[in-house]
Structure 1
């Protein structure tokens, strides 16, 4: 059985900057995945003030799905919708994804809080998913 993961980077104004689905692709569930992550944004905002860590672990559950979050110092939220609990590997995925996001932000041609449309960024995120999640 293959597991599906849905990853999103949400900007400071709650707009999606990047999204990707890994594993068994189920296009009909894409909008449900977006809805679940968007519904968890308030819980992420509440949880970030309870700790000084960037990785917030699982902040919400919906049926068999868990929502894990990582908040950058600039308040950009990295969120992952997943079925199984692999806290340490998810944390490692978030740390490396945050590093890729920082490298994108350092690009002088990238406008902050706009969608990331780089093919290189997308392929590197997919590589991280294969390394840690799949």
Structure 2
């Protein structure tokens, strides 16, 4: 599950859940994790201003999931929820996924036909 959130009012810009069942549960998990993101950003203080990007790492684990966070220099927050039984997923792989997502987000924002604040739509995945 992935969600991209604006810092202005914590409203979602992009939400993607694979598989699609239990979307409401994931949506709730992501919104509760935004408080942890805000706490980590506040704890970083001035160090956040000096960094180009901020990978927050594991925000918190639950029995079934692990929640990871990432904040861009423009205060856009990315939250990713992965299955906790996936032990093959390493921290550097999560960081790499966030960087790729950040690059994709930047591409959308640079599109002259995109209106900032509109929901981001992606092409359907071919399975």
TM-score bracket, shorter-length normalisation: 0.7 to 0.9
CA contact (8 A) 1:56 1:68 kept: yes
Q: Which residue of 2 aligns with 1:131?
A: none
Q: When the two structures are aligned, how many residues end up with a matched partner?
A: 115
> Structure 2 CA distance, aligned partners of 1:19 and 1:86?
23
TM-score by length of 1: 0.76
> Structure 2 CA distance, aligned partners of 1:113 and 1:59?
26
Structure 1 regions of 5+ residues with no counterpart?
1-5, 127-134
SS in 2 for 1:50: helix
> Structure 2 CA distance, aligned partners of 1:113 and 1:73?
17
Residues 1:26 and 1:117: Cα distance change in structure 2 (over 3 Å): closer
> Structure 2 CA distance, aligned partners of 1:104 and 1:116?
8
Q: Which residue of 2 aligns with 1:49?
A: 42
Determine which structure has the larger helix proportion and give its number: 1
Spell out, residue by residue over 1:87-130, the C-alpha distance to the aligned partner (whole angstroms, 9 max, x if none): 111100000110010011011221223210242xx65xx8xxxx
Matches within 5 A, 1:24-63: 25-27=19-21, 29-51=22-44, 52=48, 54-63=54-63
RMSD between superposed Cα atoms in Å: 2.1
Residue 26 (structure 1) shift:
4.9
Q: Which residue of 2 aligns with 1:11?
A: 6
TM-score by length of 2: 0.80
Q: Does residue 88 of the first structure (1) align with residue 88 of the second (2)?
A: no
> Structure 1 CA distance, aligned partners of 2:56 and 2:20?
27
Moved >3 Å (runs of 4+): 49-53
Residues 1:54 and 1:63: Cα distance change in structure 2 (over 3 Å): same
SS in 2 for 1:117: coil
